[in-house]
Amino acid sequence: MAKILAVDDEKDIHTLIKRYAEREGHEVTTASDGAEAVEICGAEDFDIIIMDAMMPEMDGFTACKEIKKTKDIPVLMLSARGEEYDKLFGFEVGVDDYVVKPFSPKELMARVNVIVSRHKKADDASDKDKRVCIGGIELDTLGRTVYIDGERTEFTAKEYDLLLYFARHNGAALSRDNILNAVWGYDYFGEDRTVDWQIKHLRAKLGNYRDCIKTIRGVGYKLEI
């Protein structure tokens, strides 16, 4: 069972999500805007947040950034806009997945289940895997924090997942499809440019190690340290 926070200014969306989520044994709390969601998350913990992008008072992207400052809760963003820019902006602020309205409730629940499962596996990491060190880069898998040459560096949730995947496959050539499936956790329906865009931002945060992520023409990328 997962504890879900559904955030949308449309009551019909609350009803739809609750109906399908509760059929699978999940517990659902609802909020009508981003500000209310931030307040609720300050008092409670959730396994996942399903958040509408465009809402009064505080939009979903702003709410996501505020929540991520204090809580490591995965966020699945809903939006009536499906432009690539909107999706990429969502990933930049820490969104874990992006679903365009109108959506299939069954597909939504399938994505929720995958995200929750992957997040719990990360929390249940074994002692030997609590820290992943490669060169001057150190990842704390329990705290989901990154240290570069001993200095803590802030990464979004997706940037962290991407770096961890590269670190665990140091030296291996990774195709864009492999990266999408491993980091996003399913057969992603988006564009290959999503990976390229995330790599660009990841490199920018790696400082002296930015050139260690190498582009393999016609294949994808490789971390080599």
| Model pLDDT for residues 141-186, shown as the tens digit of each residue | 878 889 999 899 988 888 888 999 999 899 999 998 888 878 876 5
Q: Are 79 and 10 in contact (CB under 8 A)?
A: no
- pLDDT score for 127: 46
| Exposure letters 136-155 (e unless 16+ CB within 10 A, then b) | bbbbebeebebebeeeeeeb
Q: Where in the chain is the domain with CATH 3.40.50.2300?
A: 3-123
In this prediction, residue 191 carries a pLDDT of 54
- With a cut of 90, say whether residue 29 has pLDDT above it: yes
CATH number assigned to the domain with residue range 127-223, chosen from the 4 options 2.60.40.10, 3.40.50.720, 1.10.10.10, 3.40.47.10:
1.10.10.10
81 has pLDDT over 70 = yes
Domain with CATH 1.10.10.10 in the chain: 127-223
Q: How far apart are CA 4 and CA 116, in angstroms?
A: 10
* pTM confidence score: 0.62
Q: What is the DSSP letter of 209?
A: G
Residue predicted with more confidence, 148 or 86:
148
State the CATH architecture for 3-123.
3-Layer(aba) Sandwich (3.40)
Q: Name the more confident of 47 and 79.
A: 47
> SS3 for 176?
helix
| Mean pLDDT score across all residues of the chain | 86
Q: Residue 40 has what pLDDT?
A: 94
The first and second tokens of residue 36, run together, are: 């209310």
Residue 62's CB is within 10 A of a number of other CB atoms, namely 15
Predicted confidence band of residue 126 (pLDDT cuts 50, 70, 90): very low
Place of tokens 């050139």: 211
